[in-house]
Amino acid sequence: MAASSGALHEPGDQLRAETVERHRATVSLMEELEAIDWYDQRIDASSDEALRRVLAHNRDEEKEHAAMALEWLRRHDAALDGFLGAYLFSDGGIAERAEELEGEERGEGDGPGGASGDAGGSLGIGSLRAR
């Protein structure tokens, strides 16, 4: 296992296989995001236009890799899936969206039954498949 992937915080024999797989995906996502950041900085610093274009192309490929790793994580983490569903591609202020969701949890307001999501009053049954 690579050094970063090996950086488990608890003894490996105490971890479930799915936890270790999610750790791999999380580290992979971190590496992709870090690479994007590095490319951004190199592009800013370089004065060679051709090199800047190569770096920008490579940086954007890392974004694809990051999106793929994130999607894998979403499919293997129900809570993350819920939060991504609540925040990604939403309109308006993100902090306001958080307040709106907290209000719904307390049973206030109309709920997100408008543009997406479920109306306040839902029994929250959803899928009953064993994960």
Partner 1 sequence: MNHLYRELAPVSERAWQQIDREAERVLRHFLAGRKLVDFSGPHGWDHGALQLGRVDPAADPPADRVTADVRRVQPLVELRAPFEVARVEIDSIDRGNDAPDLGPVGDAARRAALAEDRSVFHGYAAGGIEGIAQATTHDRLPISDDYNEYPGTVARAVALLQRAGIGGPYGIALGPKCHTGVIETTERGGYPVLEHIRLILGGPVVWAPGVDGAIVLSLRGGDFQLVSGQDLSIGYLDHDAESVRMALVESLAFRVLEPDAAVWLAYTS
Binding interface with partner 1 (CB under 8 A):
107, 110-130
Q: How far apart are CA 35 and CA 26, in angstroms?
A: 14
Least gap, CB of 85 to partner 1 (angstroms): 10
CA distance 75 to 73: 5
Please say which residue, 28 or 112, places its beta carbon nearer to partner 1: 112
The minimum distance between CB 114 and partner 1, in angstroms, equals 6
Q: Nearer Cβ to partner 1, position 45 or 130?
A: 130
| Residues 6 or more apart whose Cβ sits within 8 Å of residue 101 | 86, 112
Q: Which is nearer to partner 1, 79 or 123 (CB)?
A: 123
